[in-house]
Amino acid sequence: MKTHKLLMPLDMHLHLRDAVMLETVAPLTAYSFSGAIIMPNLVPPVDTLDAVISYKQRIMAAVPNDYFEPYMTLFYKNYDRAFLESVVDKITAIKLYPAGITTNSEGGVSSFDVEEMRETLEAMSDLEIPLCVHGETDGFVMDREAEFMSVYELLATTFPKLKIIMEHITTKAAVEMLDKFENLYATITVHHLILTLDDVVGGMMKPHLFCKPIAKRPEDLDALLNVALQAHPKVMFGSDSAPHPQHAKESCGCAAGVFTAPIALQILCEIFDHYGKLENLQAFVSDNAQSIYGICPEFKEVTLEKRPFVVPEHYGTVVPMYAGETIGWAIESVD
């Protein structure tokens, strides 16, 4: 059997939720990943030092038998410098959501007035706190990310020392932004390396493939694949794995999110192997992230094997991507 080893895999965009859902999904990531950037859009959001500390404690309690580092984030608000100085050693980044644009983002930013944001973003620049951004407007759904490029340009030029992560990019336009501004970086999900909108709604609606940002056009998929497969040094893997109970996905108000955490590495191996680029997967799932964020995860070696693996129908109340289907790679061991 063909095998492939990955060292210290990192998921640089992960939703763990809280309570019972946290206890269900956190061990699935902790098993095969050394660490992950944890999203702060709980209810209420993680926007205080106490909330950061408490949430990290709950995460660690859910994964007692695996080494796993939750890299914590704050929900973006216009914080003052003194507060950021007090929390800088407890967080890895701050996550900005445009108000109401996705799950639990109602308290996000409603106006990108750089003067209102200046104190926070200049302090983040000085303290070397990266800004992670869900980059969508509230325009036509297929154009929302492309329309947000002007905001990225504004932030990147106004705050040139600020490290800005374009989260879960889905368009050719976002890929092209990477080489225009030195301080722009990006995460890419596994499902956006596979899906176009046609896969989601081209036939029968597939609720477990519905996410925000929604999958786009074939030319966007090609651009994402190209930049990921070559392991561009400014891109890294971020699953945006977003668990919802089955009843919340299979409903008339279908919740946005694709649950990929337990099978992400296997599918990535399948993709990179298919295109003859397995040698670049290590950089995409770990090395680039370590360089961009300046983090040093403890050692974990994941051995994957090229053999059929049937994806479980459920993990607790959550239905994963490819539920009940056979994929081409499986995890053989984790050391």
Residue type, 290: Q
**Domain count of the fold of the chain:** 1
Please report which confidence band the pLDDT of residue 298 belongs to, taking 50, 70 and 90 as the band edges: confident
Whether residue 330 lies inside any domain: the answer is no
Q: Left, alpha or beta for 268 (phi > 0: left; psi -120 to 50: alpha)?
A: alpha
Q: Which of 90, 98, 158, 155 is nearest to 129 (CA)?
A: 90
pLDDT at site 160: 98
Whether residue 270 lies inside any domain: the answer is no
Could you give the maximum distance between any two Cα atoms of the chain, in Å? 58
d(C-alpha 217, C-alpha 41), whole Å: 28
Whether residue 333 lies inside any domain: the answer is no
pLDDT in tens, 184-212: 999 999 999 999 999 999 999 999 999 99
- 138 assigned to active site: no
Q: Which of 65-69, 108-112, 131-135, 157-161 has the lowest mean pLDDT?
A: 65-69
Whether residue 325 lies inside any domain: the answer is no
pLDDT in tens, 81-107: 999 999 999 999 999 999 999 999 999
**Which position among 240, 273, 287, 335 bears the catalytic label?**
240
Whether residue 65 lies inside any domain: the answer is yes
Peptide bond into 213 cis (omega under 30): yes
pLDDT at site 149: 98
Whether residue 230 lies inside any domain: the answer is yes
Instruction: Report pTM.
Output: 0.98
Residue indicated by tokens 């955490």: 261
Mean pLDDT of the chain: 97
**What are the two backbone dihedrals, phi and then psi, of residue 22, each rounded to the nearest 5 degrees?**
-55, -45
Average pLDDT (263-286) is: 98
Domain that residue 227 falls in: 13-262
Is the model's pLDDT at 66 over the cut of 90?
A: no
CATH of the domain at 68: 3.20.20.140
Is the model's pLDDT at 148 over the cut of 80?
A: yes
Is the model's pLDDT at 65 over the cut of 90?
A: no
pLDDT at site 195: 98
The length of the chain, given as a count of residues: 335
Is the model's pLDDT at 1 over the cut of 80?
A: no
Whether residue 312 lies inside any domain: the answer is no
Whether residue 238 lies inside any domain: the answer is yes
